[in-house]
Chains A and B, each alone.
Chain A
Amino acid sequence: MTAAAEPARPRDWLSLLARLLLGGVFVWLAVLKLVEPVGFLKAVRQFGVVAQTDPTLLNAVAAWLPWLELWCGLLLLLGVGVRGAALLVLAMLLVFTPAIASRGLELQHASGQAFCDIAFDCGCGTGVVNVCSKLAQNTGLIVLALIALLVPPRRLALRPELLGAQRPT
Chain B
Amino acid sequence: MTTSTRTLVEALLIGASGLGLGLVGNALSPAGLRIDRDYFPTAAAILIASPAPTPAPAPASHEDPAPTGAAVAPVSEVETKARERLAAQGLAAIGFEEARSLFEDPSYAAGGLLFVDARNDEEYQEGHVPLALQFDHYHPERYLDAVLQAAPGTSRVVVYCNGGNCEDSEYAAATLKDFLAEPETLCVYVGGIEEWRARAMPVETGARGSGVLQGGKK
Residues of A at the B interface (CB closer than 8 Å) are 34-38, 41, 45, 52, 55-56, 59-60, 62-68, 70-72, 75, 81, 83-85, 87-88, 91, 107, 110-111, 113, 118-121, 127-128, 149, 161-164
CA distance A34 to B31 in the complex (A): 8
Looking at the assembled complex, report how far the CB atom of A136 sits from the nearest CB atom of chain B, in whole angstroms. 19
Partner of A161, one of B10, B22, B23: B10
Partner of B14, one of A38, A59, A72: A72
CA distance A111 to B34 in the complex (A): 35
Number of interface residues of B (CB under 8 A): 41
Can you name the residue of chain B whose Cβ is closest to the Cβ of A66?
Answer: B22
Task: Check A63 against B26 for contact (C-beta < 8 Å).
Answer: yes
Task: Check A163 against B15 for contact (C-beta < 8 Å).
Answer: no
CA distance A56 to B26 in the complex (A): 14
B146 lies within 8 A of chain A by Cβ: no
B143 lies within 8 A of chain A by Cβ: no
Can you name the residue of chain B whose Cβ is closest to the Cβ of A88?
Answer: B11
Given A55-B37, A75-B14: A107 and B69 within 8 A (CB)? Answer: no
Task: Check B25 against A107 for contact (C-beta < 8 Å).
Answer: no
Measured between beta carbons, the chain B residues less than 8 angstroms from A63 are 22, 26, 32-33, 35
Could you give 21 example pairs across A and B, Cβ below 8 Å? A36-B120, A37-B32, A38-B120, A41-B33, A56-B35, A60-B35, A64-B22, A68-B15, A72-B18, A83-B3, A84-B14, A87-B10, A88-B11, A88-B15, A107-B73, A110-B72, A111-B72, A111-B73, A121-B70, A128-B68, A163-B9
Contacts of B151-179 to chain A: CB distance below 8 A: none
Can you name the residue of chain A whose Cβ is closest to the Cβ of B14?
Answer: A84
Partner of A68, one of B22, B69, B73: B22
Looking at the assembled complex, report how far the CB atom of B171 sits from the nearest CB atom of chain A, in whole angstroms. 10
CA distance A128 to B164 in the complex (A): 15
> What mask results when residues 65 to 94 of chain B are scored 1 for a CB within 8 Å of chain A, else 0?
010111011100100000000000000000
CA distance A67 to B17 in the complex (A): 10
Looking at the assembled complex, report how far the CB atom of A128 sits from the nearest CB atom of chain B, in whole angstroms. 3
